[in-house]
């Protein structure tokens, strides 16, 4: 596979449209692997991957782990609780120690933005960002774009709304970069207190009018609302949030006929998304999870197979 | 032995001499200034082609002793000061223990005298332990040698306590220096809130955390008719508030740091933790406003906020790395390159900002000027020499500078403290 030259996958901000397309194309061919009786190809046999998660995750970690295993790479997982990070070692030091064991790639998730970049600047191993602070979560956005393309056949020209806590969302930022590069028209919708300063400079429209957004959009990408946002005074109450910004069947009556409902998970059912919508006909939430494995196989393959 | 500076082009805050002079220093004082001085048994320095200024004064540094001697000590900090052209520095009290009683002040002064490279004056805390609860014993701190008090690192948040601190300090005759930052508004922010923080996804500190305290302290100073000095101003709005206050005759003075008139929040995008500083790097517009404020006198003086941190501490992720950068050894280079060379300040105005004004604000007599009878603290600068900031050249114990690799104009050649050469570049 040609056209890939990067050591790391840190963000979508710096990827070109061609690079994003290449990942999506590569994922297409890997998706089939997971449907086989024997879900394994030897593409990365002999490669070693470590996932270093200094922040909780279930699905992203499992998804990366399955992706690595289906490519025949060896993978081990290190999480915050069991690591020396809790003993005062810096994440860079931990990563240096991991690299010293001759690993080919480190998948990192960290609560502080920029950690993947710091590791990439200091290590020879490939670094894959699995979410850094509120900055980026590139594989999530890639799997979202893959799912949209799969379901609607294209991305260019679509109207995509990202709804919820934009301020704290790395999923929103990565999707904004990726979707706008592929020609979608992106609107971010949420409470004014959860809207970051200058977000429109990223090339998106902003609104707090959910009804309008539901009517106009081809894709509704619903974000998880963190329960502690109420405590930090971002919201008067979760009750009001659910009423004003939550999506339920009734509100969806105004939506386009083939609208896609997406969510990066885990969902607070009944809060940002009612259960009947989450499980309903427009929801592609489980397709997103399925496609996540394919995207992560593609990313691992592109970073490691040629190296 | 007396020291004779030959061919000195003297720069004071009021003017630059149009003819070279000789300056004779003895017993810590400037004895004589004349077109040509002949003297025997003196050490002599030829300052031909250089600028000779009153020793630079930095009223805002952190020397980390006692408590974090792995970052800096009074000795290594003094060396960095001398190399940077500073003959007087005032060190902030956020040490461990906090400088909040006379005995600690005396211990620091004793160590500074032993080192003997520059004049180190401790700044006492405003509140005991910097806990924002009880006032320190201000008379005791003044008698021990403090010229100013500050809870630097944080604000006195309790407004009633700040009122009492200002009212009491006016009686004592000691300056209060406020670190302006409402911690509830800062709310864990690690960089400026704005377009850059939105892109970088880092927790952001809105500028209003600074300006609400600036506005409050201006009002307190007005009401109490007393002086307050505002530390490391970083925002256009702060400059505007201070400009307005000064136009009303309110006794407010203010300082700014070289990094706040050179770097912006866009520089954080490398995730270099040496760009993590408090107050944070702001926008290009704020940088412009700080320069305007320095030029028109709204900002009275330039300070470094020299904040040394070990490599280990700065190697952390951006959220967990400590705030601060070193500044003593780059201040002259930055000021000459960014302000003098770009015609924002004249040479005498640079002396005003870096020597005369700070001396006046804290009440240092016989400093900040080159004249017969003044203290023999002198800095000799090569105005044309270009140099590159190199990590290995720092004499500070810490190397946490985002300016490594930058090229500057304006080089400290010689620093003289109490009539003796303490640095010779």
Q: What is the mean pLDDT of chain A?
A: 94
B178 and B224 share one domain: yes
pLDDT-derived band at A86 (thresholds 50, 70, 90) equals low
Within a 10 A sphere around the Cβ of B63, how many other Cβ atoms?
Answer: 31
Q: Given phi > 0 = left and psi -120 to 50 = alpha, else beta, which region is B64?
A: left
Q: What is the mean pLDDT of chain B?
A: 97
Q: Is the pLDDT of residue A14 over 60?
A: yes
State the pLDDT confidence band at A82, using cuts at 50, 70 and 90: low
**pLDDT for B348-403, tens place per residue?**
999 999 999 999 999 999 999 999 999 999 999 999 999 999 999 999 999 999 99
**Block residue for tokens 């004592």:** B172
Does B305 qualify as catalytic in the annotation? Answer: yes
Q: Are B227 and B249 contained in the same domain?
A: yes
Residue B309 counted as domain residue: yes
Please say if the pLDDT value at position A129 is more than 70. Answer: yes
Report how many domains make up chain B: 2
Helices (H) and strands (E) in chain B, counts: 13, 18
Are the C-beta atoms of residues B339 and B348 closer than 8 Å to each other?
A: no
pLDDT at A290: 97
The residue assigned the tokens 């782990």 is A65
Cα distance from A204 to chain B (closest Cα, Å)? 13
Q: Give residue A245's pLDDT band: very low, low, confident or very high (50, 70, 90).
A: very high
What is the C-alpha to C-alpha distance for residues B99 and B141, in angstroms, rounded to an integer? 9
Containing structural domain, residue B25: 3-51+375-395+404-424
pLDDT tens digits, one per residue of B326-358: 999 999 999 999 999 999 999 999 999 999 999
User: pLDDT class for A227, splitting at 50, 70, 90?
Assistant: confident
Residue A57 confidence (pLDDT):
87
B91 domain-assigned: yes
Start-to-end CA span in chain A (Å): 12
Cα distance between residue A23 and residue A248, in whole Å: 33
Contacts of A118 in chain B (CB under 8 A): 271, 317-318
Q: What is the pLDDT of residue A2?
A: 60
CB A34 within 8 A of CB A107: no
Residue of B nearest to A196 (CA): B198
Interface of B with A (CB under 8 A): 187, 193-195, 197-204, 270-271, 312, 315-320
Let me know whether B300 and B411 are in one domain.
no
Residue B174 belongs to domain with CATH number: 3.20.20.140
Closest residue, chain A, to B195 (C-alpha): A198
**pLDDT confidence band for B159 (50 / 70 / 90):** very high
CA A71 to CA B117: how far, in whole Å? Answer: 64
Q: What is the pLDDT of residue A85?
A: 63
- Answer yes or no: do A113 and B195 touch at CB < 8 A: no
Per-residue model confidence as pLDDT tens digits over B181-195: 999 999 999 999 999
Which residue in chain A has the smallest CA separation from B312? A90
The Cα–Cα gap between B268 and A261 comes to: 36
Based on the fold, state whether residues B310 and B380 are members of the same structural domain: no
Candidates B202, B312, B317; nearest CB to A110: B317
Report, as an integer, the average pLDDT of A256-271.
95
Residue B199, in any domain of the structure: yes
Q: Has residue B67 been placed in a domain?
A: yes
Instruction: State the pLDDT confidence band at A1, using cuts at 50, 70 and 90.
Output: very low
pLDDT band at B273 (very low <50, low <70, confident <90, very high): very high
What chain A residue is nearest to B200 in terms of C-alpha separation?
A135
At which residue do the structure tokens 């004056």 appear? B121
Task: Test A111 with B319 for CB contact under 8 angstroms.
Answer: yes
**Are the beta carbons of A197 and B195 separated by less than 8 Å?**
yes
Residue B198 domain-assigned (yes or no): yes
Torsion angle of the four alpha carbons A15, A70, A49, A297, in this order, in degrees rounded to the nearest 10 = 0
- B45 and B67 fall within a common domain: no
Residues of A recognised as catalytic: 59-60, 87, 109, 137
CB contact under 8 A, A90 and B319: no
Statement to judge: residues B32 and B73 lie in one domain: no
Picking from A117, A197, A232, the nearest residue to B193 by CB comes out as A197
Q: Is residue B267 domain-shared with residue B166, that is, in the same domain? A: yes
Contact present, B66 and B91 (Cβ < 8 Å): no
Contact B309, B62 (CB under 8 A): no
Query: How many A/B residue pairs have CB atoms within 8 Å?
Result: 70
Question: Is the CA virtual torsion B226, B231, B233, B237 positive or negative?
Answer: negative
pLDDT at B153 over 60: yes
Residue corresponding to tokens 């180190």 = B120
CA distance B50 to B385: 10
Note whether residue B295 is domain-resident: yes
B382 with B264, same domain: the answer is: no
Q: Does one domain contain both B35 and B73?
A: no
- Domains, chain A, in order of start with CATH, read 17-136+292-304 (3.40.50.1370), 138-288 (3.40.50.1370)
Catalytic residue selected from B305, B313, B377, B382:
B305
pLDDT of residue A240: 95
CATH number of the domain encompassing residue B8:
2.30.40.10
Contact A220, A263 (CB under 8 A): no
pLDDT digits (tens, 9 = 90+) for A95-119: 999 999 999 999 999 999 999 999 9
Q: Does the beta-carbon distance from A91 to B271 stay under 8 Å?
A: no
Q: Residue A264: what pLDDT?
A: 96
Which is nearest to B120 in space by CA: B100, B91, B162? B91
Q: Among A92, A113, A162, A231, pick the best mutation site for testing chain B contact (most B Cβ within 10 A).
A: A113
> How many angstroms away from the CA of B346 is the closest CA of chain A?
38
Cβ atoms of residues B333 and B410 within 8 Å: yes
Give me the pLDDT at residue A56, please: 83
Per-residue CA distances from A270 to A208, A236, A264 (Å): 20, 17, 16
* B94 lies in the same domain as B132: yes
Are B20 and B163 found together in one domain? no
pLDDT, residue A137, reads 98
Which ranges of B100-226 does DSSP label H, i.e. alpha helix? Answer: 102-115, 138-144, 159-172, 183-186, 195-200, 208-224
B201 → closest Cβ in A93, A170, A232: A170
Question: Does the beta-carbon distance from B317 to A112 stay under 8 Å?
Answer: yes
Residue B345 lies in a domain: yes
Identify which of B195, B271, B320 has the shortest CB distance to residue A198: B195
**What's the pLDDT at B58?**
98
* Residue B369 included in any domain: no
Question: Helices (DSSP H) in B23-158: which residue ranges?
Answer: 74-83, 102-115, 138-144
Q: Do B319 and A170 touch (CB under 8 A)?
A: no
Q: What is the pTM of this model?
A: 0.94
Mean pLDDT of B249-269: 98
| Shared domain check, B173 and B201 | yes
Chain A: nearest CA to B189, how far in angstroms?
12
**With contacts defined as CB-CB under 8 Å, which chain A residues touch B316?**
90-92
């Amino acid at each position: 596979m040609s056209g890939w030259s990067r050591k790391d996958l840190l963000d979508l901000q710096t990827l070109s449209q061609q690079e994003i397309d290449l990942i999506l194309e590569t994922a297409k061919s890997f998706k089939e692997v997971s449907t086989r009786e024997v879900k394994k190809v030897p593409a990365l046999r002999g490669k070693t991957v470590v996932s270093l998660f200094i922040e909780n995750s279930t699905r992203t970690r499992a998804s990366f782990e399955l992706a690595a295993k289906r490519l025949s790479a060896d993978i081990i997982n290190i999480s915050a609780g069991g690591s020396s990070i809790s003993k005062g070692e810096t994440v860079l030091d931990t990563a240096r120690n991991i690299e010293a064991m001759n690993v080919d790639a480190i998948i990192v998730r960290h609560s502080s933005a920029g950690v993947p970049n710091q590791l990439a600047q200091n290590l020879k191993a490939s670094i894959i960002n699995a979410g850094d602070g509120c900055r980026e979560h590139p594989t999530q956005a890639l799997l979202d774009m893959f799912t949209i393309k799969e379901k609607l056949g294209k991305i260019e020209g679509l109207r995509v709304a990202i709804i919820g806590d934009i301020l704290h969302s790395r999923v929103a930022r990565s999707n904004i970069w990726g979707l706008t590069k592929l020609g979608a028209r992106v609107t971010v919708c949420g409470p004014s207190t959860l809207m970051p300063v200058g977000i429109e400079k990223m090339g998106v429209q902003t609104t707090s009018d959910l009804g309008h957004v539901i009517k106009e959009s081809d894709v509704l990408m619903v974000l998880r609302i963190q329960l502690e946002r109420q405590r930090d005074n971002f919201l008067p109450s979760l009750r009001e949030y659910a009423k004003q910004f939550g999506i339920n069947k009734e509100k969806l009556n105004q939506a386009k006929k083939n609208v896609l409902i997406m969510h990066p998970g885990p969902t607070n059912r009944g809060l940002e998304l009612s259960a009947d919508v989450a499980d309903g006909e427009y929801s592609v939430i489980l397709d997103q999870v399925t496609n996540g494995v394919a995207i992560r196989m593609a990313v691992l393959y592109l970073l490691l197979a040629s190296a | 032995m007396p020291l004779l500076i030959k061919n000195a082009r003297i720069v004071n805050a009021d003017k630059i001499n149009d003819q070279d002079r000789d300056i004779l220093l003895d017993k810590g004082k400037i004895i004589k200034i004349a077109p040509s001085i002949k003297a025997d048994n003196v050490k002599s320095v030829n300052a031909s082609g250089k600028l000779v200024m009153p020793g630079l004064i930095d009223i805002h540094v952190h020397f980390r002793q006692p408590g974090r001697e792995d970052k800096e000590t009074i000795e290594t900090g003094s060396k960095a000061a001398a190399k940077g052209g500073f003959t007087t520095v005032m060190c902030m009290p956020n040490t461990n223990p906090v400088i909040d009683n006379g005995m600690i002040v005396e211990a620091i002064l004793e160590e500074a005298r032993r080192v003997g490279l520059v004049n180190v004056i401790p700044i006492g805390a405003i509140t005991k332990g910097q806990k924002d609860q009880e006032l320190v014993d201000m008379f005791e701190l003044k008698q021990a040698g403090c010229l100013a008090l500050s809870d630097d690192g944080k604000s006195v948040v309790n407004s009633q306590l700040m009122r009492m601190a200002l009212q009491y300090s006016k009686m004592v005759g000691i300056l209060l220096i406020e670190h302006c930052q409402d911690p509830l508004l800062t709310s864990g922010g690690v960089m400026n809130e704005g377009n850059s923080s939105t892109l970088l996804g880092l927790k952001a500190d809105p500028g209003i955390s600074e300006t609400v305290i600036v506005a409050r302290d201006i009002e307190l100073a007005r009401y109490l008719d007393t002086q307050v000095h505002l530390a490391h101003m970083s925002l256009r709005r702060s400059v505007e508030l201070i400009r307005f206050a000064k136009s009303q005759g309110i006794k407010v003075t203010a300082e700014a740091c070289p990094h706040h008139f050179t770097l912006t929040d866009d520089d954080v995008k490398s995730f270099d933790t040496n760009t993590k500083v408090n107050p944070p790097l702001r926008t290009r517009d704020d940088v412009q406003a700080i320069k305007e404020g320095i030029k028109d006198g709204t900002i009275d003086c330039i300070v470094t906020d020299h904040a040394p941190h070990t490599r280990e501490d700065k190697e952390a992720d951006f959220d967990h790395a400590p705030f601060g950068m070193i500044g003593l050894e780059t201040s002259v280079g930055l000021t000459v390159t960014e302000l003098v060379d770009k015609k924002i300040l004249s040479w005498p105005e640079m002396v005003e900002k870096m020597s005369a004004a700070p001396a006046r604000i804290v009440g240092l007599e016989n400093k900040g000027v080159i004249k017969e009878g003044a203290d023999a603290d002198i800095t000799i600068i090569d105005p044309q020499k270009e140099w590159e900031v190199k990590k290995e050249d720092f004499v500070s114990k810490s190397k946490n500078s985002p300016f490594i690799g930058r090229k500057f104009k304006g080089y400290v050649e010689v620093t003289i403290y109490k009539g003796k050469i303490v640095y010779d570049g």
